[in-house]
Structure 1
Amino acid sequence: MASRATHVCLCCRVSAEDIREAVLQRGARNLEAVARLTGAATACLSCQDEVENLIQSARQELREAQKGQPLLPFL
């Protein structure tokens, strides 16, 4: 993963931004999906709590961005 910011997962060199992108742009919704996409929290697991917090934060950001958007009709 990229080294654009301080790494959250040192074992797999995954940054907070990598985790945020996995949720916001790649559709990850839980720790297992983020781990599969980024490798975070797959080695020593010491970052697991921080990764879960980042996932929740990104999901909240996604919910806030979606507020007020019109529902799409079923086709």
Structure 2
Amino acid sequence: MALRDEAMNHETQVEALLGLVDPERARDDQAAEALVVLGLAERCRKRGYRPTTAGWTVLGPKAAAYRGY
């Protein structure tokens, strides 16, 4: 994802957040850092990044499957 070339829209935010919580998806560290700047994710030692409350809100109904994360 070329974050320098384009702003992170809602769809790319959701995809990046799903990359943090879904073990089947590859995590994009550049997108994760962009989520941190936006306040949608935070750095953590155990998993690298995790969604904030705002990040879970952006995920909306898609978050239900990952709430035990």
**Which TM class, normalised by the smaller chain length?**
0.3 to 0.5
TM-score, normalisation: structure 2: 0.36
Q: Tell me which protein shows more helix as a share of its residues.
A: 2
Q: Computing the radius of gyration over CA atoms, which structure comes out larger, 1 or 2?
A: 1
TM-score normalised to structure 1 length: 0.35
